[in-house]
Structure 1
């Protein structure tokens, strides 16, 4: 029976092992074709059944990460790092760091990014992190230039995003996954929502949207359509669609259906059958078109060859912003990569305003978490200006994207999956209160350290003042002694550091004339020594031993110098009392040494009293030869130097009114 039981257990274990292996393979097959919702269900069931591996935790986190649910993703990445951090690949340091921002754990995110940065040569995201220290202060400095509201009047309980101005801004066209009418559309395996279609909505002079309607069936198909853009005359439209044309659904070599940009012309009020753009390809995506104000350039997002947007493990492809010239005959130049603004992360959803500012979303530039909206001024020669995070409240720890603005009315729209919306992604309208060009800012990155040791000092207060010594702001240094201020350009300031029981330090600075970073180091040192009852303050004050000549109890000149340190200490700490302990060597009878040590202790006490120390704060006691520091007894032959080590004094402190027993 025992043998049969063992065989049965082995058979069951083998069966369960094969079943789990099968489920893992099944989940991975779904994951590899981006069917993340189906893969997620399989991985969750495996974890629920107690089957947990680094691969399952990583890919389970990915199924949320790639669906922009960073809050949920960070929980699974956390489990991955708790159990398997030593074997985690560098890419997951980046993903986990990005996910932590969604729950406002920026310090931990920065720690992981610092670790990611230490993987030399991994990719440019680490370099950009090193260059972006103080990014949260920069974002705060850029914030507060918008009033926003949810366009609840047109948002559904599914995804609504990617607005575009149409017919002189009296209408907005956007993508939605809503089901309406009698059509029940198929659902996409990536996020289990209906495929997107393009809708129009009417816009009033305050940006309020109403009357959502599905666009023509010549534009919408049973697959995805999204992110349109229109020429100024409203007669030409570019938009994104799955690789589905004329009833044919195409996939790449791995079986994935990519995105393409299509163009349609309006003729007698109807849209023509859309045509593909020539730089589309079955093997990569081309999506999210945007037009320059003059209509002569088309910008878009793509992961085509030459993109910086990839991870080195080839697990998931990011995207870059690209541009092409539109010729007079409607043809296009070769695509060119906007390398100065792209990162190995994800750059997407471009929009060019009337004032020639390129807005786009990115996960590669430093932001608050997820996709943030950034801006870059396009120069007349086509070069790109500095990339600037446009700040809160447009940007949050969630995905914020699809930004468009009318420079004349200052009214615009953007998309976000932040909490408080009606559905998944919602469209928000805003009123722009200030110009979006970067404010001139000087970022002061400083540190406070110990003047003697160079060690960083935590919890020091750095006070920012104007030249008239009026306090403007203050910071408390972190564990590494660092502090930051974001200041106006070309202005004088005073920085002063203070900490209890320390000296202070002060620096007069003038900030940079253009936006930049200043490194200001401040140094302080302790001027009060922390002591406790029964401490021997000799080592604390770096006092050399108070030595006496053989058979003498007078204070030597070298001893007087050291005793002056005790005097200064007792003057600085008036609440402290000191017991003076004197010791002798063993080269005389015990009774004689006891008397001699008492006299040495009293001699030391009298010297301190002569210098103004209150006698009530001093006691003196001789210990004779009872506490030798070595083996130099009468029975042991020692040198004079060895005997001198035992002729010493100690200074034991007490903060009590009565001296406590410190033996």
Structure 2
């Protein structure tokens, strides 16, 4: 990607005024001139030559670092910024400590990066970027934990030049910016590449791209065009362009060197792959850049990136409302929830109202990272989440778009090259989300691991998905989808089955689900529940009503009583040890009567039923008064037992 399009703000640099020789001063001034025109490649060679001659200054190291930093070459940027902060610490502005830290972070030198961020604070640097680090010191662990599972692969349309900024167009097209075979006749002094044009490519159901060709009509010119957004009907395009309209450049003449800013334009579709009636948007300005459009799902709000007055950092995300009469509201800054002292850009709003954007002002893996924030009904953003690896890398990752229904999207990144922004490519993104459900099956009383136990995974409708056998250590595992409900069930001969309901989260990870199995033991001749393989009838803490899961088990007793009219049973109800003995005895009596009344309500003659509460006098485990126990263990004591009386 052409770097001026990635960094839409304008930098100001002081002119070097001292030197050891007249010739060196002349070379530096010439370098500064090239630098201020954004011809970073030419300036870099001059600065390097001066340094080779033994000349050094804070400004040279600053500018050398910047020529690499803003072209995405963080290895060399870190080299010169480190020289700067080491050699000229008293002359170094806080922002260079920050850029040095970001560069080192992208190289995996996280401890040194942290030190430089602390220096940035000590030097007077303030803002959200420090807040995010301070709140999440172990940010890499946090980032990895929050990662969503994406498969990333380079698209075959990649040209070997800058290819970036994908945008969905209808269901089967993708539009993006590229310097390959562009129509412009000039070469950009920033990258020594041709100026960018917008291209359109075919997109199949698997997301594969093919047959790229320039966007037709009046959109492409001899200067840069990039990053488009389309209305749902496909008839209007918003796009980024150098401030160039009607064949004339719109220059910012307030600077010493005239600057060609970036602006937003829109055009209309007037034929197949033909776009005309190009109009500049009214909130553009020659004094600042406005770029990288995105539309809300309803098409009523246009998002963009700008360094206009009111920007919190180097570039912020803004929006304007698109009014019914075709005019636009006043630009609104998305605020500190999204924007930082760094660079925020390349926004995209999905159909589910998720705002994806790139930033280098937050905890991340290096360079630009992709973040996501959910917008509420009024468009207010929530706290951003870093998408983590593999979406993000140690280099620049930006221009992320995705269809969250098909889980297919695209990403711009220079991760596979060493030339900085020249190596920007389009990557196909496929999202999958898998949860590892794992655990052990063990004897609930002895804690012995139960090798050979059968473990089943059932869906929300209780249909069997798959089954496995616990290994010699009682360990089992399943792969399951995110954001679904499952039941994990353990069974083994001689044990009562045990199952757990699992609701998987929306982010990939691991869920541990232990399965304690209770031994069946020999059934006493008069224990109807045991003979029916009845699961215990549990009650909620301090309650006596029949739970829905208890009704299922009581139905087994009901069926037995109807099948064998001669059976008379005695219902025993028990509590856990929490509460006084007298209270628990009364509570268990209410539970026993509740169970009896349920059976009577189903038609069983009351003469066949007796019931009594035993309180906490017959606990099944060690959870007596004063013994700390989990809620699960206490629940084992809240039960009903059914004894055959004749």
TM-aligned CA deviation for residue 35 of structure 1: 2.2
Summarize deviations over 1:297-348 as a string: whole Å, max 9, x none. 1000000000002xxxxxxxx2100011111121111010000211111000
TM alignment of 1:58-457, pairs within 5 A: 58-120=62-124, 122-151=126-155, 153-168=156-171, 170-179=172-181, 185-252=185-252, 253-254=254-255, 255-269=258-272, 270-309=274-313, 318-339=314-335, 340-419=337-416, 424-434=423-433
Name the CA shift for 1:320/1:421 in 2 (closer, same or farther; >3 Å).
same
Report if aligned partners of 2:20, 2:55 keep a CA contact under 8 Å in 1.
Answer: no
TM-aligned CA deviation for residue 80 of structure 1: 2.1
TM-aligned CA deviation for residue 86 of structure 1: 4.2
Name the CA shift for 1:261/1:348 in 2 (closer, same or farther; >3 Å).
same
SS in 2 for 1:72: helix
Report if aligned partners of 1:166, 1:172 keep a CA contact under 8 Å in 2.
Answer: yes
Name the CA shift for 1:59/1:226 in 2 (closer, same or farther; >3 Å).
same
Name the CA shift for 1:15/1:376 in 2 (closer, same or farther; >3 Å).
closer
Report if aligned partners of 2:434, 2:508 keep a CA contact under 8 Å in 1.
Answer: no
Unpaired runs of 5+ residues, structure 2, are 1-17, 436-474, 476-506, 514-646
TM-aligned CA deviation for residue 351 of structure 1: 0.1
Partner of 1:32: 36
Report if aligned partners of 1:219, 1:274 keep a CA contact under 8 Å in 2.
Answer: yes
RMSD of the alignment, in Å? 2.7
SS in 1 for 2:188: coil
TM-aligned CA deviation for residue 79 of structure 1: 2.2
Unpaired runs of 5+ residues, structure 1, are 1-13, 310-317, 437-469, 471-485, 493-663
Report if aligned partners of 1:163, 1:175 keep a CA contact under 8 Å in 2.
Answer: yes
SS in 1 for 2:89: helix
TM-aligned CA deviation for residue 91 of structure 1: 1.4
In the comparison of the two structures, how many residue pairs are matched? 420
Report if aligned partners of 1:150, 1:421 keep a CA contact under 8 Å in 2.
Answer: no
Name the CA shift for 1:331/1:142 in 2 (closer, same or farther; >3 Å).
same
TM-aligned CA deviation for residue 116 of structure 1: 1.3
- C-alpha distance in 2 between matches for 1:59 and 1:376: 34
- C-alpha distance in 2 between matches for 1:320 and 1:84: 30
- C-alpha distance in 2 between matches for 1:413 and 1:71: 26
Q: Identify the range of structure 1 (370-379 vs 94-103) with the bigger mean alpha-carbon deviation.
A: 94-103
Report if aligned partners of 1:77, 1:96 keep a CA contact under 8 Å in 2.
Answer: yes
Name the TM-score, length of structure 1 as normaliser.
0.60
Report if aligned partners of 2:148, 2:387 keep a CA contact under 8 Å in 1.
Answer: no
Name the CA shift for 1:342/1:15 in 2 (closer, same or farther; >3 Å).
closer
Q: Answer with 1 or 2: which has the greater Rg.
A: 1
TM-aligned CA deviation for residue 72 of structure 1: 1.5
TM alignment of 1:483-632, pairs within 5 A: none
Report if aligned partners of 1:376, 1:385 keep a CA contact under 8 Å in 2.
Answer: yes
- C-alpha distance in 2 between matches for 1:51 and 1:194: 34
Summarize deviations over 1:217-268 as a string: whole Å, max 9, x none. 4110000000001111100000000000001102111111110000011124
SS in 2 for 1:219: coil
